[in-house]
Amino acid sequence: MALSVRIIPCLDVTDGRVVKGVNFTNLVDAGDPVEMASLYDVEGADELTFLDISASSSGRETTLDIVRKTAEQVFIPLTVGGGIRSVSDVDKLLRAGADKVSINTSAIARPELIAEIADRFGSQVLVISVDARRARTESGFEVTTHGGRESTGVDALSWVEKACALGVGEILLNSMDADGTRAGYDIGMITAVRSVAQVPLIASGGAGALSDFAAALDAGADALLAASVFHFGTHRIGDVKAYLAKHNYSVRNVLAT
């Protein structure tokens, strides 16, 4: 018996459509989120993540509807992030059918939000999304907000330690330098965050070659998130799992219906 590595496709959603661009700009339409969620489920995704990048409140309402429709037909864990500012935002998403929520900017602005959500719903629902890049902070990694456009000056490792102490259940570490490049995960960053985190770590940003996934696991990631390589068909989820299984990582095989 062994815990399997989780492969998590991430769907960036705005106004009801999945989009994905390089370094969070040049958004390209990539498909219908509910259809894509079902497809990834059948292909063996171990979890799904929706990141709501809508700027408007009507866009957020659309996302709630997408979560509802997805939860009706997809029976694997679903994490939703983007624009969550309060306990009541979390409540709405969980009631719509999300299992976990990820928060980022709002927690940096007001860290107590982490404890408020964890106290109400338990740590297991809360993922802290850390958009980090290499910079001249103490650890050499800095937290950014607004999809990497804004610098916070906050050291990424100190932030992870603080978030863990406040009660997050999981860390989604997104390298803003590697995001969308398909040049590989930022291995140094994963190693550094792993050394201070006692909760599961999801690596994100930069997945390209199949060997990139294995390298992130070797650096200490428990789960691997990717978007563009899956959306545009560079790799199927089954390809990643077959590669990892061949290299002796534990992966889940999907039960045929």
Instruction: From 175, 78, 89, select the one nearest 129 (Cα to Cα).
Output: 175
Q: Least Å distance between CB 75 and other proteins?
A: 6
Q: Least Å distance between CB 149 and other proteins?
A: 30
Q: Least Å distance between CB 161 and other proteins?
A: 15
C-alpha 6/C-alpha 211 separation (Å) is: 16
C-alpha 116/C-alpha 114 separation (Å) is: 5
In the bound state with other proteins, the residue whose beta carbon lies nearer, of 11 and 221, is: 221
Q: Which residues pair with 151 in a beta bridge?
A: 144
In the bound state with other proteins, the residue whose beta carbon lies nearer, of 4 and 54, is: 4
Structure-token pair, residue 128: 């802290």
Q: Which residues bind other proteins (CB under 8 A)?
A: 1-6, 41, 46, 68, 71-73, 75-77, 91, 94-99, 120-125, 169-170, 198-200, 222-223, 252-257
Active site residue ranges: 12, 131
In the bound state with other proteins, the residue whose beta carbon lies nearer, of 2 and 57, is: 2
Q: How many angstroms separate the Cα of 176 from the Cα of each of 132, 144, 179, 183, 252?
A: 6, 8, 5, 12, 29
Structure-token pair, residue 104: 């980022």
Residue with the two structure tokens 């409140």: 57
Do 156 and 139 form a contact (C-beta atoms < 8 A)?
yes
Q: Least Å distance between CB 100 and other proteins?
A: 8
In the bound state with other proteins, the residue whose beta carbon lies nearer, of 20 and 100, is: 100
